[in-house]
Amino acid sequence: MRATRNTITRLAVVLLALWPALVSAQPVSADDYRAFWLWSGVTPKPALAKAQEVFLLAGEVTARGITSQRGATPRVKTSKVWIVYRVQTLDWPPGAMENILRHVAAWQDAGNDMAGLQIDFDSGTRNLGSYVAFLRDVRAKLPSELKLGITGLLDWGANARAADLAALHGVVDEVILQIYQGRRVIPGYQNYLVRLQKLNVPFRVGLLEGGGWSAPGNLAADPMFRGYVVFLVNGAGR
């Protein structure tokens, strides 16, 4: 009976934390935010005129090399720029990192105010330790004035080994935890976001434009929470 009561008590605490989000989720409007992912093929939105940061997809890294996702070097005058690479494998071919650094330099030479490099890789929770080792090598090769950011899975905060999460500290400058997969908001994302105590690096929450969102009550009080980034999509907000 005592175990049952304890279980009920823990469930009640979680439900109380999640209740505002469960009853008030609203579609994400780009106009309410100031940081955005902008992929090729997506029509720029008016909200970009007020953006403080933009994350621009530059290419995709596969076992064969880097495939460019951008026809020309961007020239962004009004906001900080993150250069983003979608990564399919950590087994990079020779010269891949050197190519990325040349792209970074070209974007800087074009007058962009570069914030840093973001690696967009879906590392499984069990493999997070190996991913951190890979990121440590990237960090060592990246110019010191640039930040290193990564996207992260919601499952990390709930189920990753504490040692693996702790190892991110000093290697990456921020993690953006995405509450969506593809063009779909992940059901139950609130349950993951109330369990981030083990994450000891600055993090933001990645939202899907047009997708439902309501912040869990404890999110704003988390000392590592730094805000939001919205993934822009065609057709949202019309």
- Residue of 56 and 196 predicted with greater confidence: 56
Report DSSP letters for 171-203, one per residue: TBSEEEEESEETTEEPTTHHHHHT--TT--S-E
Query: Phi and psi (nearest 5°) for 43?
Result: -70, 125
Q: What's the pTM value of the predicted model, to 2 decimals?
A: 0.88
The DSSP letter of residue 111 is T
| Side chain identity, residue 176 | I
Look at residue 231 in the predicted model and tell me its pLDDT: 98
Look at residue 194 in the predicted model and tell me its pLDDT: 85
Q: What is the per-residue pLDDT across 95-134, written as a single tens digit (0 to 9) for each?
A: 999 999 999 999 999 999 999 999 999 999 999 999 999 9
- Which residue's structure tokens are 């990192």? 97
Q: What is the per-residue pLDDT across 9-54, written as a single tens digit (0 to 9) for each?
A: 554 444 455 444 445 689 999 999 999 999 989 998 999 999 999 9
Q: In a 10 Å sphere around its CB, with 0-12 CB exposed, 13-18 middle and 19+ buried, how is residue 178 labelled?
A: buried
Look at residue 5 in the predicted model and tell me its pLDDT: 58
Look at residue 7 in the predicted model and tell me its pLDDT: 52
Q: What is the per-residue pLDDT across 139-187, written as a single tens digit (0 to 9) for each?
A: 999 999 999 999 999 999 889 999 999 999 999 999 999 999 988 999 9
The DSSP letter of residue 66 is E
Look at residue 76 in the predicted model and tell me its pLDDT: 95
Look at residue 109 in the predicted model and tell me its pLDDT: 97
Look at residue 208 in the predicted model and tell me its pLDDT: 97
Confidence category of residue 211, pLDDT binned at 50, 70, 90 = very high
Look at residue 21 in the predicted model and tell me its pLDDT: 46
Q: Measured on CA atoms in the order 95, 97, 99, 102, is the torsion positive or negative?
A: negative
Look at residue 8 in the predicted model and tell me its pLDDT: 54
Give the separation between CA 223 and CA 202, rounded to whole angstroms: 8
Look at residue 82 in the predicted model and tell me its pLDDT: 98
- 132-140 long-range contacts (CB < 8 A, ≥24 apart) are 132/164, 132/167, 132/168, 132/171, 134/90, 135/168, 135/171, 135/172, 136/171, 138/97, 139/171, 139/172
The DSSP letter of residue 127 is G
